[in-house]
């Protein structure tokens, strides 16, 4: 009864927000039930729709983008995100599909770091070639919690504000971290993600979103024929455990060079050491930019549909992951379309600070201190040609 009452209240609030604008505005936010977690917490799905008919479904479990509809060159909308149609599969089978990750997105070597003279030990929940790491916030990162949510409309932009408080000691991290993440689907066919956080004690923070894209459409083929451009002349090489060596290396003359459009599958072979370490691309690129400015990080073009995605961000780096392990961990993942996701059928472009920054003094700092504000934005734009 409590969940039904809560859902009714949320639905009323969402419809009230949508209907409060003038009749000429068709941007809307609606809410529906998306089931319950295994421990009985209600999960809700917020559907954001802009005036052009684009829509994004965002659920409160993990702050996850479940569905994202984007136009092809003929104006036909198609879902371009890998994911599931039920919360149970997200709990049991998801390789971070579409979710918010933190406190620290990406890897921290051996799950250990030192800060202000104190040593901290985090959960070790990832291993590559028997080299252990803390990944994406640990055993129960922000992808596995139910966020509080409120629908919003800003002008012609439809959105949802998500909030979560991570207590001191959560997954081994120091300090209470108070977060607000705002998703906006804009009138310009952009999905904007704004991250805001404060802390009462110094702590590493590196929040990002882990959407898996396939611009052909969810469940349709692999991503090897997508053309990727990265605004990055350098990257951070990794060792056998996918932990950065600390070096910032030029991409020129290597398979890591996407400074001009390249098909993802063109040089994605194990005859290069860095590609072999990750079973494909799973690396951080150092973006060409001034610290803190909003600038273009990436563009992806899919020639059969004409879909184009751009990524703008304030972050200094971007992790390009080519879906190398989608069918390599023994878990069968059947997506929303009923198709089993196979090797390299989705890719991620995760805007971020560099992996293992707490242990790499020459990388930009990820330490947030009391009195400071973590404030960063990433915008995914969609068009066709």
**Residue 10 confidence (pLDDT):** 46
**Residue 59 confidence (pLDDT):** 98
Q: Inform me whether the pLDDT recorded for 8 exceeds 90.
A: no
Which of 134, 234, 350, 353 is catalytic? The answer is 350
Q: Inform me whether the pLDDT recorded for 142 exceeds 90.
A: yes
Rg from Cα positions in the chain: 20
Residue 57 structure tokens:
């479904």
Which of 134, 210, 226, 353 is catalytic? The answer is 210
Instruction: Read off the pLDDT of residues 305-363 as tens digits, 9 standing for 90 and up.
Output: 999 999 999 999 999 999 988 886 778 999 999 999 999 999 999 999 999 999 999 99
Q: Which of 210, 213, 199 is nearest to 135 (CA)?
A: 210
Average pLDDT over residues 14-19: 44
Instruction: Find the helix or strand (DSSP H, E) in which 100 lies.
Output: strand 100-101
Q: Which of 46, 40, 136 is nearest to 88 (CA)?
A: 40
CATH of the domain at 104: 2.70.98.10
Q: In the chain, how many domains are there?
A: 1
In angstroms, the CA 73 to CA 354 distance is 35
Q: How confident is the model at residue 268 (pLDDT cuts 50, 70, 90)?
A: confident
Q: How confident is the model at residue 19 (pLDDT cuts 50, 70, 90)?
A: very low
Q: To the nearest whole percent, how much of the chain has pLDDT over 70?
A: 93
**Residue 126 confidence (pLDDT):** 86
Average pLDDT over residues 132-149: 97
66: in domain: yes
Average pLDDT over residues 112-139: 92
Q: How confident is the model at residue 159 (pLDDT cuts 50, 70, 90)?
A: very high
Q: Which of 346, 344, 336, 340 is nearest to 214 (CA)?
A: 346
What is the bridge-based pairing of β-strands 157-166 and 177-185? antiparallel
In angstroms, the CA 40 to CA 228 distance is 41
Q: Inform me whether the pLDDT recorded for 100 exceeds 80.
A: yes
**Residue 270 confidence (pLDDT):** 67
Q: Inform me whether the pLDDT recorded for 6 exceeds 60.
A: no
**Residue 278 confidence (pLDDT):** 81
SS3 15: helix
329: in domain: yes
How far separated are the first and last CA of the chain, in Å rounded?
A: 49
Quick check: bond before 103 cis, omega within 30?
A: yes
Q: How confident is the model at residue 150 (pLDDT cuts 50, 70, 90)?
A: very high
HSE of 151, CA atoms in CB hemisphere, 13 A: 31
| Whether 218 is catalytic | no
**Residue 25 confidence (pLDDT):** 61
369: in domain: yes
245: in domain: no
**Residue 130 confidence (pLDDT):** 73
Q: Which of 206, 211, 196, 141 is nearest to 170 (CA)?
A: 141
283: in domain: no
| Whether 299 is catalytic | no
Residue 104 structural domain? 1-218+315-385
Q: What is the pTM of this model?
A: 0.93
Q: To the nearest whole percent, how much of the chain has pLDDT over 90?
A: 85
Residue 342 structure tokens:
């196979």
Q: Residue holding tokens 């379309």? A: 337
Q: Inform me whether the pLDDT recorded for 228 exceeds 70.
A: yes
Q: What is the 3-state secondary structure (H, E, C) of 235-259?
A: EECECCCCCECCCCEECCCCCCCCC
**Residue 131 confidence (pLDDT):** 81
287: in domain: no
Entry field: residues in the chain: 385
Q: How confident is the model at residue 241 (pLDDT cuts 50, 70, 90)?
A: confident
Instruction: Read off the pLDDT of residues 25-40 as tens digits, 9 standing for 90 and up.
Output: 689 999 999 999 999 9
In angstroms, the CA 279 to CA 284 distance is 15
Q: How confident is the model at residue 12 (pLDDT cuts 50, 70, 90)?
A: very low
Helix ranges (H only) for 117-268 are: none
**Residue 2 confidence (pLDDT):** 42
309: in domain: no
HSE of 76, CA atoms in CB hemisphere, 13 A: 8
Mean residue pLDDT across the chain? 92
């Amino acid at each position: 009864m409590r969940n039904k009452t809560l859902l009714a209240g949320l639905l009323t609030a969402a419809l009230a927000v949508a209907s409060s604008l003038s009749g000429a505005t068709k941007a809307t936010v609606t809410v529906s039930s998306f089931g319950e977690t295994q421990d009985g917490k209600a999960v809700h799905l917020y559907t954001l729709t802009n005036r052009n008919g684009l829509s994004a479904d965002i659920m409160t479990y993990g702050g996850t983008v479940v569905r994202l509809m984007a136009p092809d060159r003929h104006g036909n909308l198609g879902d371009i995100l890998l994911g599931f149609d039920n919360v149970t599969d997200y709990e049991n089978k998801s390789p971070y599909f579409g979710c918010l990750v933190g406190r620290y997105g990406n890897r921290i070597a051996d799950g250990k770091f030192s800060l202000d003279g104190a040593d901290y030990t985090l959960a070790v929940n990832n291993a590559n070639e028997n080299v252990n790491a803390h990944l994406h916030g640990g055993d129960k990162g922000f992808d596995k919690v139910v966020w509080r949510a409120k629908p919003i409309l800003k002008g012609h932009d439809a959105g949802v504000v998500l909030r979560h408080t991570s207590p001191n000691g959560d997954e081994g991290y120091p300090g209470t971290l108070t977060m607000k993440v705002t998703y906006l689907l804009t009138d310009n066919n952009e999905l904007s993600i704004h991250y805001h956080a404060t802390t009462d004690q110094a702590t590493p923070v590196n929040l990002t979103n882990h959407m898996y894209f396939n611009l052909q459409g969810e469940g349709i083929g692999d991503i090897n024929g997508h053309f990727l451009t990265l605004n990055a002349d350098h990257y951070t090489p990794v060792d056998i455990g996918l932990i950065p060596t600390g070096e910032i290396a030029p991409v020129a003359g290597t398979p890591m060079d996407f400074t001009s459009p390249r098909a993802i599958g063109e040089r994605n072979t194990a005859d290069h050491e860095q590609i072999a370490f990750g079973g494909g691309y799973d690396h951080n690129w150092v973006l060409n930019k001034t610290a803190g400015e909003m600038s273009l990080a990436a563009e992806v073009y899919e020639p059969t549909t004409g879909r184009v995605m751009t990524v703008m961000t304030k972050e200094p780096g971007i992790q390009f992951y080519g879906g190398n392990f989608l069918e390599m961990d023994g878990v069968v993942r059947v997506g929303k379309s009923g198709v089993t996701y196979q090797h390299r059928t989705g890719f991620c472009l995760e805007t971020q600070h560099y992996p293992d920054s707490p242990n790499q003094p020459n990388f930009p700092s990820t330490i947030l201190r009391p009195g400071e504000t973590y404030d960063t934005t990433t915008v995914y734009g969609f068009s066709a040609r």
